[in-house]
Structure 1
């Protein structure tokens, strides 16, 4: 942010705003109409300088700068998220690039009646440096759109869905980069919503407050039960801000057939879905209590996911943290995930996936799959997990496939993973069956090839620390173990199990593997 930006004061309100061409004050209705009709005035540019208009008011000398003249409002430039910016923020000076924005103090709640104390408004309605935009020397600047200006209440009770829909429509229509602000300290109740692209320019959704879902699953009657917050067809989108997305999933879990088998099995929403998005960044967000999966990425390209905090109770069903489907060039780093299902799951035609710096547990670990369900063809390849801590999880690093499927899982590496009291630390299961009834034996299978486990250390909650249960028809090939040390969390020994598993090892591997065995089952034990 250039330090040369200054906010100037004009008294009285009718004083001249600029010595140049007067700015055009665009009313909210006119502004929206122009964007809807794509008839913004020619030469529209992002805005850089500001004048704060103060009608007559009482200002007590406490916690506020007493203004005497102009150019003395820099101490007020602090926190965007606690301010409410007027619709008349949308002002331009068509003759210059350094345009002027009017900020009438009345729009911050000041009464201006000479009786009411308006001090607090000057103290709390502060203006962010970010509001001055990022680069006043170029045209590549950001327009900020505050959800409260589109009617959002942020009280956690009123339905704010329409306001979010309207602000997205405007932001997506802008030719300049836009940032939607969901301010800190507010809770916004939002029903199922679509954020559709393509958009004309880069767009940021800055969630600093809380977005909460309706608690009642019946709200989804007649709607797609898989969706709550649904982004699709958007390029160059960033979702960030340090705030919270709360799926309010408790009633969904109570109705799940996995919790109570007398319940009918039904779909539940993913808290945030990104479908067919490109050049996507999702960072510094907390996602809690999702109805089902927390964040799902389907058919996306070039995704950067970082610094997420994802939490749900250990017994909440199907609450995967990060779910990657049919996506390419994905980086996931520095995330903490504690859920009732997989911390990270990678399935169905995904490749070039990089995962590092993950803290996982409780949950079901880091999984490739399941693949091949309902006799489908799936492939996952070129995946590297490098650097993770798993504690008290039901599985560690896992590949799971259904009988009857086809396709392949290949060139997958799990490296530098620490396990603490983890059941099934290393597991390949080609007989996966997530069903209330036994699955039928089938000869077809997803082939598994070139899978490496390097630097996997820690403690196993189960005696069997390594399990390779591979298909009779399609054995696992070119498995590789190096520097694996999995001691018992309690007890005397850990074991490895192999079925139709072919591979090699290097360095110290404990428990020792059982590759290339001709017998039906082979188990090797060794005392710790």
Structure 2
């Protein structure tokens, strides 16, 4: 798939429904040159694919879009992602603004969770620029401009006590601007498996709240709220 056109997922209508563009069981897949905006949920999903090259894409989502990953990769190997610009969430500004935003965010979230079921889905703002999920291996990610959004993530892995692995990952020459996270690894505490041979090289971060985060007690926000 190659071209200079645009795919508009008209995401605000469908945010709770599906991913805009999914590829399953593909071999020798190439994606290049497309501008992908306003996804319904995640923008691009790569599942059970081999030998995939993704390059020169521009992916954008509005600041208030929920759970809109840029590129999701799972159960796939020999994947190259390069020269892409991905913006999938609300931009971080400075520490004071971040702290104020967090307090307001928590207050609104608790109110919505307790009193307005219809609005709960809107509390998850943006998501990962790139997410490497269960079964991703031999992944090469280079020259990515990420931001705003949640950074480049391995996981989440092991939800529901499941077995999950990610291995042989290289992330290099990538820039993060105004992201919540930079480089993130997230696993559920009841899962098992492994993450190994992951390399980060020549990473640039600006106005990133959590430059490096390894979270081995990851939880969905909705599940965390059940504690209250």
TM score, norm. by length of structure 1: 0.35
Deviation per CA, 1:495-525: give whole Å up to 9, x if none: xxxxxxxxxxxxxxxxxxxxxxxxxxxxxxx
Query: What secondary structure sits across from 2:14 in the alignment?
Result: helix
Match of 1:251 in 2: 13
Report how many aligned residue pairs link the two structures. 189
Within 5 Å, give how 1:73-152 maps onto structure 2.
none
Q: Is the 8 A contact 1:370 1:399 kept in 2?
A: yes
The alignment status of 1:242 with 2:28, answered yes or no, reads no
The alignment status of 1:363 with 2:125, answered yes or no, reads no
Identify unmatched segments of 5+ residues in structure 2.
89-125
Deviation per CA, 1:138-170: give whole Å up to 9, x if none: xxxxxxxxxxxxxxxxxxxxxxxxxxxxxxxxx
Query: What secondary structure sits across from 1:290 in the alignment?
Result: coil
Match of 1:386 in 2: 172
Match of 1:54 in 2: none
Query: Which structure: greater helix fraction?
Result: 2
In the TM superposition, structure 1's runs of 4+ consecutive aligned residues that sit over 4 Å from their partners are none
Task: Please point out which of 195, 198, 203 is paired with 1:412.
Answer: 198
Distance, in Å, in 2 between the alignment partners of 1:317 and 1:438 is: 17
Higher RCO (C-alpha under 8 Å, 6+ residues apart) = 2
The alignment status of 1:313 with 2:62, answered yes or no, reads yes
Match of 2:43 in 1: 294
- Displacement of 1:252 after TM fit? 2.7
Distance, in Å, in 2 between the alignment partners of 1:280 and 1:436 is: 35
Q: Is the 8 A contact 1:433 1:439 kept in 2?
A: no
Query: What secondary structure sits across from 1:342 in the alignment?
Result: coil
Distance, in Å, in 2 between the alignment partners of 1:408 and 1:281 is: 29
- Displacement of 1:435 after TM fit? 3.3
Structure having the higher Rg: 1
Task: Please point out which of 290, 297, 304 is paired with 2:53.
Answer: 304
Deviation per CA, 1:412-449: give whole Å up to 9, x if none: 01111100000110110001111323399xxxxxxxxx
Distance, in Å, in 2 between the alignment partners of 1:314 and 1:416 is: 27
Within 5 Å, give how 1:45-444 maps onto structure 2.
239-253=1-15, 267-339=16-88, 340-438=126-224
Q: Is the 8 A contact 1:314 1:338 kept in 2?
A: no
Match of 1:81 in 2: none
Query: In the superposition, relative to structure 1, how do residues 439 and 354 fare at CA in structure 2: closer, same or farther (>3 Å)?
Result: farther
Match of 1:235 in 2: none
Identify unmatched segments of 5+ residues in structure 1.
1-238, 254-266, 441-528
